[in-house]
A and B are shown apart, each in its own frame.
Chain A
């Protein structure tokens, strides 16, 4: 049904494509003729004539309508839309903001399409260039580690407790027997609910042939009902946790059916879902998401068994205690918000996906090999929603990384300093010129000669300089970082370790994609060849005999291991 204009009082009644409807009365704001004209324009924009097909969108238009009506009343404009001039409209739109400007322009243009009431110049201005551009969207901020763990912890507790209670209730039902009022017990009550489905107090009373008051007095129904048939709070916890585990978009999770769950083995599920803006997609679920889904299917099996046939296929089917709205298939945003408040967590469903993606991209120590988080995204969306440094602290961190990288580039430009055995002997002899050329004082030179300041790859002229970590603390850099560090001095005794590192690079090359290897180790792999060029052949041959081709002699972290 198209939108209907109301005349007394002025307003509009709309019915949308999904069956929702509503009435909007702008109130007594401004010139009634202008309000009526804009409402007529709005009516032309509403489904099925136009694309406005949701109450929230009409809300936004009515807000714009009220605003321009009040503004024009304050400017003394009378006589409806035809009395508007370009000057007063430009004045309004210059201060209105993007949302109000867009909605009022659209209503005016729509009104003029039908009524042809606007001056030609005014119509051209309404169709013309906007004064305020739409701001780009604010990227969603991922939860910090503590919030993320708290959210998951609460969901796990709710789902775990509810599932344990459900199992206990099923066992109790197994131990119960069919009985009347004479042998009323919790077990028998649970048996009754398992057999007959989610009954109301009245229905139980009718079944037992007693009054509702009698059933209420003997109690236990609410508990037994909640244990056997998960309610909206429990299903919401499952859904939030499922989103945390698999990162599927919220609308994709909300609309899942049993048929979307495609078992590809005992412990693998291919989940098909629909993301609002694109065609159907599918994802292979992570293991813990599979386990959670298994648990939910078991938890909701009893509910599903008693549900009407047309609803039994909805994945998130749950029961309400209210008998007039017993079978529920969705969690409305209000219930989701109330759930968050009740448990003291902020659970933005879109932020859950953002956090999932953000955490996943930081799982590997060398970053993510993916070029795109979602192939449907434009680079702008990708950067805006997932890669932006959202908080000032993150911004600072990113800037310091850039500064460090620039410093790195300059440092890497310096040629390596390799001293030969002869130079070492000369250094030991205290040749002031050599020491000065290497930028060392005498104690440091002595330490380097003796190997006292050796790190794995080289001798370090100042391990506490703070070049790669906090000043005054031992340098935390990984062994290969020394290759491009200006403080490193490579002596003959380092040849063995350099060869071990080179072999490790070769093994990393074999197991990493080329682009990723080049991004992570490329400069170091080039540099190590440059360093080894300075070593005499006999030294390298001797060192190669001991170097081996495994990780055991390398100071690696577990995640850096190649074997």
Chain B
């Protein structure tokens, strides 16, 4: 196992991302297997397959973060910087952000966040938005309404998603504002805070507590299942 080295220095000059040339594994304190290849910030596909001690439930896809799904190249950099900040909150450039989350996300969560980021940014592209500075609350609301629609493989609407399914999409939209100061290529307009500071759970309308919505299996089904299993 290779111990993570110190994070690369960021120069922060000009339009270059301050993270250009950074070793993501080192910054996120992800140790590598002996002889394993590290992941660099600039890569369009970040493959964390050589990280030591990955959870066994992660398959090959889960350890790979592909940014190429984002069609706008500037926003691809935005997504790279956002995911970097979520993976490495202790990086000195990230830590000084007032709204930055302080707990690193797991690779699996980062993958989910990236997919939602791509969905949001590509939707903006489809709405002919040229810059994140043009994003308004109306865009956020319309995207979330569209995101609520459950679709089949052919893209036909077949129902609506549960409130809880909208939490991550809303969180991504909100967090892009919180990390705005970090982004080199583009960012929301100054002072724009989606949903005026409400949390993603509030935006999604999640309700905590109560019993599980999925009822337990009836004994008549569970008993033969268990009897057959052992």
A: residues with CB less than 8 A from B are: 86-87, 90, 94, 121, 124-125, 127-133, 379, 409-410, 412-415, 523, 526
Residues of B within 8 A of A87 (CB): 92, 96
Residues of A within 8 A of B34 (CB): none
Residues of B within 8 A of A523 (CB): 219
- Judging by beta carbons under 8 Å apart, are A130 and B102 in contact? yes
A90, A132, A133, A409 interface centre (most CB from chain B within 10 Å):
A90
Closest to B95 in A: A90
- Given A87-B92, A90-B96, A413-B222, A129 and B101 touching (CB < 8 A)? yes
Closest to B228 in A: A413
- Judging by beta carbons under 8 Å apart, are B219 and A526 in contact? yes
- Judging by beta carbons under 8 Å apart, are A415 and B219 in contact? no
- Judging by beta carbons under 8 Å apart, are A129 and B100 in contact? yes
- Given A87-B92, A94-B90, A526-B219, A413 and B98 touching (CB < 8 A)? no
Residues of B within 8 A of A127 (CB): 98
- Judging by beta carbons under 8 Å apart, are A413 and B226 in contact? yes
Shortest distance between the CB of B117 and any CB in chain A (Å): 20
Q: List 22 A-B contacts (CB under 8 A).
A: A90-B92, A94-B95, A121-B96, A125-B97, A125-B98, A127-B98, A128-B98, A129-B98, A129-B100, A129-B101, A131-B95, A131-B102, A132-B102, A133-B102, A409-B226, A410-B230, A412-B223, A413-B222, A413-B225, A413-B227, A414-B227, A523-B219
B: residues with CB less than 8 A from A are: 90, 92, 95-102, 209, 219, 222-227, 229-230
- Judging by beta carbons under 8 Å apart, are A128 and B222 in contact? no
In angstroms, Cα B125 to Cα A540, docked, is 78
Pick from B101, B219, B226: contact of A410, CB below 8 A: B226
- Judging by beta carbons under 8 Å apart, are A413 and B99 in contact? no
Residues of B within 8 A of A413 (CB): 222-227, 230
Residues of B within 8 A of A414 (CB): 227
Shortest distance between the CB of B44 and any CB in chain A (Å): 30
Closest to B96 in A: A86
In angstroms, Cα B95 to Cα A410, docked, is 50
Residues of B within 8 A of A130 (CB): 102
Residues of A within 8 A of B101 (CB): 129
Shortest distance between the CB of B223 and any CB in chain A (Å): 5
In angstroms, Cα B98 to Cα A379, docked, is 32
In angstroms, Cα B98 to Cα A533, docked, is 69
In angstroms, Cα B95 to Cα A239, docked, is 51
Pick from A131, A415, A526: contact of B227, CB below 8 A: A415
- Judging by beta carbons under 8 Å apart, are B219 and A128 in contact? no
In angstroms, Cα B171 to Cα A535, docked, is 62
Closest to B90 in A: A94
In angstroms, Cα B102 to Cα A125, docked, is 13
In angstroms, Cα B100 to Cα A412, docked, is 51
- Judging by beta carbons under 8 Å apart, are B98 and A124 in contact? yes
Residues of B within 8 A of A90 (CB): 92, 95-96
